[in-house]
Amino acid sequence: MMPPVLLPDTLPAASLPVLSESESRWDVLGNSVMVSPMRFATIPDNEKANIAAGYMKERATGIAVNSDQWDGYAAERDRLLTMLDEQESNALFLTGDIHSEWANSIASPSGFGEIGCEMVTTSISAPNVDEILTTAFGTYHKEDNSTPLLVEQAIRDANPWVNHIDFDAHGYGVASIHPDYVDMLYYRVSDVEDPDASVSLGEKRQWRIGEGFVEA
């Protein structure tokens, strides 16, 4: 059976009955928007960094452009995570739509340990932070320039459950599920404007039951 596709505003009807009956080793939840909470901070005296952070804030929380993200449905998210926790689920959230790579721990609502993880893949060609900055300032901003790296660090500092984040990569992810762990391979396209561009493995993350993220 295919995993349920989660949308916060359809959670009660579409997802809880299926999940409450699950006896699987893993509950894999296809998710259109990021389930992990995000805290954003202003970076003093850095216009570019705050433009980049503002863009990601819109994509992640929906405050400016999209009201159906999970941070806008905190009660529904708590209900879902509580149910997964109570049935001792090992949850894997597979997510997209934020134009960047993430790997996040999902903490137990009870405050004890982790119930799973969230693996987020980036876009193939839709713009991300380096391209947003290029458009905003009219000058080319290469991948992994100092501004997104600064914002990535600020987000990690404010969100300790974030294990991996990359604002500039384009590509896709491949999740491999094993009895006691899940691997996520982040493949990256060298140049989205080049039909002969190469694809290579950029990052790898592994989350283990009872341990969380470990060295892959």
Residue 147: predicted pLDDT: 79
Amino acid at 13: A
Both tokens assigned to 191:
């140049």
Judge whether residue 148 has pLDDT over 60: yes
Residue 17 lies in a domain: yes
Assigned domain for 202 exists: no
Phi and psi at residue 153, in whole multiples of 5°? -65, -40
Nearest of 32, 33, 3 to residue 15 by alpha carbon:
3
Domain assignment present for 23: yes
Instruction: List the helix and strand counts (H, then E) for the chain.
Output: 6, 10
Q: Using the predicted structure, report yes or no on whether residue 63 has a pLDDT greater than 60.
A: no
Residue 184 inside a domain? The answer is no
pLDDT confidence of 38, banded at 50, 70, 90?
A: confident
Q: Is residue 87 part of a domain?
A: yes
**Confidence check: pLDDT of 19 > 80:** no
Highest mean pLDDT pick, 35-39, 46-50, 55-59: 35-39
Residue 88 in this model has a pLDDT that exceeds 60: yes
pLDDT band at residue 57 under the 50/70/90 scheme: low
State how many domains the chain has: 1
Q: In what order do the strands lie in the sheet with 199-208?
A: 171-177, 181-189, 199-208, 212-214
- Structure-block tokens of residue 17: 């009955």
Residues 6+ apart with CB under 8 A from 210: 113
Q: Is the pTM of this model over 0.85?
A: no
Taking only Cα atoms into account, the Rg of the chain, rounded to an integer number of angstroms, comes to 17
In whole angstroms, what is the distance from residue 109 CA to residue 74 CA? 12
Instruction: Please give the single-letter amino acid code of residue 130.
Output: D
Q: Closest Cα to residue 102, out of 65, 150, 43, 56?
A: 56
- pLDDT value for 198: 96
Structure token pair of residue 33: 């928007």
| Domain that includes residue 36, residue range | 5-172
**Average pLDDT value for the chain:** 81
Residue 206 lies in a domain: no
More confident residue, 109 or 39: 109
- Residue 129, both tokens: 């932070």
The domain that contains 18 carries what CATH number?
Answer: 3.60.21.70
In a domain, 26, yes or no: yes
Least confident of 25-39, 57-71, 153-167, 178-192: 57-71
Helix or strand or coil: residue 36?
A: coil
Answer yes or no: is 187 within a domain: no
Q: Is the pLDDT of residue 12 over 60?
A: no
